[in-house]
Amino acid sequence: MDFRLTEEQENLREAARKFAQTELPQLARELEEKNEPVPGEMVERYASLGYLGINLPEQYGGHGLSHLDAVIVLEEFAKISPAVAFPVFESCFGPILAIAHFAPEALRKRLIPEVVSGKRIIAVAMSEPDAGSALTDLRTRAIVEEDTVRLSGQKRWCSGAGHANGYLVYCRMSDEPGAKGIGAVYVEKGATGFTFGKRELLMGFRGIVSADMYFDDVRIPTGNVVVSAGGGFRKLMEAFDLERCGNATMSLAIAQGTLDYVLEYVQQRKQFGKPIVDFQAVQMRLADMAMKVEAARLLIYQAVWSASEGMPSIKQSSIAKCFANEMVREVTGHAMQMMGAYGYNKEYPIEQRLRDGWGWGIAGGAIDIQKTNITSSLIGRRFDQRN
């Protein structure tokens, strides 16, 4: 097994790193202060440099590269901040993947080129007030008529709500119980009866908009049905397996950026007349942080590499996400402790990294749910949480 990146991948990483480190830090600070998403003109600049839709099919305007290539770019952007990396995340690991794999041909041809060009942002709407981890309890309902779908219900915790141009909405599409009745439809922003609640004020994730969404008998064409009920839930979750790898990469990038920063800090900060890196307790923490960052990277690379012909397995993606989510909390916590009051001060980046890092273990499927998925894969059967 060869763990080396190809020359092309090394060049891609270096180009993404140079762009991110020279052009994005000031933007990241502005997004954090204003709690606003990346402006449209910068999203289009990402697109002009080839950083959107990296792993989407070439026949629809994508770049046709691998999922690993997308992970490499996402990590470099997210080292600066999750907010500046979010357009890359959405265009490579978000709902556009489900559209690319499962949507009708006409919808793929219409949406994917616009996502890759930076002219369209598509967000996913899954969770509801009473359906988060229990996703099969969805109540948002889509009724298919002759040439129209009528959509009614409420969604919660949608990253991109109000900012994105379109939404992949997971909903109940038949009376079949549980997963058998669930499918997904694409809804344009501005559709009659489609409205948004107030923006959420979250602990972290500043610059990533989140809000409730309301569908009051919204009419959409049947051509916007991405996945129908009856086996559709399995397809949707296959795409979500790759989204977990994007989530894990966000955690990895925050942790790597934290480690990079604190390595400089401990060599400059002095106590008792010498740099604090000379104290063995600090050395032990740094070693633990480095080991776990590297382990997370290898787990993510394994998951996306094995998905070169499709999607990663739920076991691989859940292990990668779970480990990275727990790892980033530990790494940012260690960094804050080593920096003391400086780590807790908003003038320094660690407190933001801790806040942002904690959120990825909630978003995209909580850590404990990932552990249930892992055990289910080991045992070979799903566990009924209701009985």
Domain of residue 354 covers 233-379
The low-confidence residues of the chain, meaning pLDDT below 50, are: none
Residue whose entry in the numeric block shows the structure tokens 């950026």: 257
Asked whether residue 340 is assigned to any structural domain, the reply reads: yes
- The pTM score is 0.94
Averaged confidence pLDDT in the chain: 94
> What is the reported pLDDT for 104?
96
Q: What is the CATH number of the domain that holds 271?
A: 1.20.140.10
Q: Are residues 263 and 365 in the same domain?
A: yes
CA 321/CA 243 separation, integer angstroms: 10
Which CATH number covers residue 39? 1.10.540.10
Same domain, 238 and 355: yes
Contact partners, residue 289, CB within 8 Å, separation at least 6: 255, 258, 259, 262, 330, 331, 334, 335
- Residue 1 pLDDT: 64
Same domain, 66 and 166: no
Question: CATH number of the domain that 137 lies in?
Answer: 2.40.110.10
Residues 44 and 176 in one domain: no
Indicate if 222 and 345 belong to the same structural domain: no
Q: How much is the pLDDT for 31? A: 97
pLDDT of residue 131: 83
- The residue among 209, 229, 249 that closes a domain is 229
Residue 41: CB partners within 8 Å, gap ≥ 6?
none
Same-domain check for residues 130 and 160 = yes
Q: Is residue 2 part of a domain?
A: no
What is the number of domains present in the chain? 3
The 8-class DSSP code of residue 64 comes to -
Q: Are residues 186 and 225 in the same domain?
A: yes
Whether residue 385 is contained in a domain is answered as no
pLDDT given at position 308: 66
Q: Which of 67, 98, 116 is the last residue of a domain?
A: 116
Q: What is the pLDDT of residue 212?
A: 96
CA angle 321, 323, 326 (to 5 degrees): 105
Q: Tell me, yes or no, whether 303 and 184 share the same domain.
A: no
Residues 173, 311 within the same domain: no
Q: What is the rounded (10 degree) CA torsion for 334, 337, 342, 345?
A: 80
Looking at 94, 116, 138, which one is the last position of a domain?
A: 116
Do both 92 and 170 map to the same domain? Answer: no
